[in-house]
């Protein structure tokens, strides 16, 4: 992914090109993240004025692989100049496909409740069929917090895209945008982060109660728990969480998170992988479930 971000950094430079040719013919295998990156590269090229002309070389087996996740038609809509919105509407997100693409512009004001419900329902149906309903609880927490997080910062121009796929053993979700980016957003809110390298700012982002909205809005209704919960669920479920934003990257390994520098990406990309053999949920996060303050707010249950 580092080399991919080095290669795509030109998308966000001030340079302008007569022609840009994207040649994907040397790709031998590709992950869900890789498919997202191909889509985001093509869509950004098409939507921006970086180049007067663009072309894409996509071998058939790669096109078939992209098709399985719903990306092929979207990419073709840009290449062939067809309606991308129409292509979005044709995407099937079902438990049968075991793959989900949620490319609606994730605007907070226009959050499409029906589409989110459809997405969650499809995932739930899939894991009920796998006889692993508890896996859905884990996935739901991660997916809902990720969507909420991106909604908070999405704009018409940010081209936020969510995609996921799963099987009985694991679930992977990738969400990417070209919005302000976690790094810039947090540096704006926390002046003390100004001198930190981008990767270290991302480490702050997965701590509890860190949120640019919390700091910048005097009566913020945000909690700053979203990425913290995702990060903790990844640890509990022996998964991986990778976040890339504006030249920084964090990665999870053996129960810890590490930061490093990487190629520049305007916006944020998050990849979450969860192993679901014995799913742990939010109630298994000790800092939350063993919080002594819980006794102060009892709920009446019937």
| Residue ranges in contact with other proteins by CB under 8 A | 108-109, 111, 113, 116-117, 120-121, 124, 137, 140-141, 143-145, 147-148, 151, 219-223, 225-226, 229, 281-283, 288-289, 291, 293-294, 296-302
Residue for token pair 């058939």: 60
How far CA 92 is from CA of 70, 100, 174, 298, in Å, comes to: 8, 8, 17, 42
Nearest distance in Å: CB 145, other proteins:
6
Nearer to other proteins, 3 or 114 (CB): 114
Rg from Cα positions in the chain: 19
Work out how close the CB of 253 gets to other proteins at its nearest, in angstroms, rounded to a whole number. Answer: 26
Write b or e for each residue in 41-68: b if 16 or more Cβ atoms lie within 10 A of its Cβ, otherwise e.
bbbbbbeeebbeebebebeeebeebbee
Exposed, middle or buried, 269 (CB in 10 Å: 0-12/13-18/19+)?
A: buried
Kindly state the smallest distance separating residue 116's Cβ from other proteins, in Å.
5
Contact between residue 178 and residue 44 where contact means Cβ atoms under 8 Å apart? yes
| Residue given tokens 């969480």 in the structure block | 241
Of 101, 163, 94, 91, the closest CA to residue 126 belongs to 94
Residue with smaller CB distance to other proteins, 68 or 108 = 108
CB of 243 to other proteins, least distance (A): 18
Question: How far apart, in whole angstroms, are the C-alpha atoms of residue 83 and residue 110?
Answer: 21
Q: Which is nearer to other proteins, 162 or 265 (CB)?
A: 162
Residue closer to other proteins by CB (options 23, 291) is: 291
Nearer to other proteins (CB atom), residue 88 or residue 228: 228
Closest contact distance (angstroms) between CB of 270 and other proteins is: 15
Taking the complex as a whole, how short is the minimal distance between the CB of residue 259 and other proteins, in angstroms? 24
- CB closer to other proteins out of 27 and 223: 223
Whichever of 51 and 229 has its CB closer to other proteins, that residue is 229
Tokens of residue 74, six digits: 């979207």
- Least distance to other proteins from the beta carbon of 301, Å? 5
Q: Which CB contacts under 8 angstroms, 24+ apart, belong to 203-210?
A: 203/250, 203/257, 203/259, 205/243, 206/230, 206/231, 206/241, 206/243, 206/250, 206/257, 208/287, 210/186
Least distance from other proteins to the Cβ atom of residue 131, Å: 18
Q: Are 40 and 71 within 8 A, CB to CB?
A: no
Phi, psi values for residue 129, rounded to 5°: -65, -35
Which of 116/243 has CB closer to other proteins? 116
């Amino acid at each position: 992914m580092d080399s991919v971000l080095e290669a795509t950094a030109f998308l966000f430079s001030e340079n302008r090109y007569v022609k840009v040719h994207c040649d994907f013919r040397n790709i031998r295998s590709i992950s869900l993240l890789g498919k997202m990156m191909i889509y985001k590269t093509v869509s950004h090229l098409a939507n921006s004025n970086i180049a007067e002309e663009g072309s894409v070389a996509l071998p058939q087996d790669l096109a078939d692989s992209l098709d399985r996740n719903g990306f092929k038609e979207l990419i073709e809509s840009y290449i062939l100049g067809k309606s991308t919105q129409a292509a979005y509407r044709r995407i099937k997100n079902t438990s049968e496909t075991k793959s989900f693409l949620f490319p609606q512009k994730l605007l907070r004001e226009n959050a499409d409740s029906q589409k989110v419900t459809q997405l969650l329902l499809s995932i739930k149906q899939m894991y009920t069929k796998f006889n692993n309903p508890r896996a859905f609880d884990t996935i739901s927490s991660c997916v809902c917090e990720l969507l909420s997080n991106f909604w908070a910062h999405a704009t018409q121009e940010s081209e936020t895209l969510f995609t996921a796929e799963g099987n009985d053993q694991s679930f992977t979700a990738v969400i990417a945008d070209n919005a302000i980016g976690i790094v810039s957003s947090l540096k704006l809110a926390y002046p003390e982060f100004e001198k930190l390298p981008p990767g270290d700012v991302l480490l702050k982002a997965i701590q509890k109660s860190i949120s640019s909205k919390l700091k910048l809005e005097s009566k913020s209704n945000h909690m700053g728990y979203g990425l913290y919960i995702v990060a903790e669920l990844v640890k509990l479920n022996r998964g991986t969480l990778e976040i890339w934003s504006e030249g920084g990257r964090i990665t999870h390994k053996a129960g810890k998170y590490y930061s490093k520098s990487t190629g520049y990406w305007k916006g944020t990309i998050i990849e979450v992988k969860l192993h679901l053999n014995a799913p742990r949920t939010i109630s298994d996060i000790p800092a939350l479930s063993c919080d002594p303050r819980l006794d102060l707010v009892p709920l009446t249950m019937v």
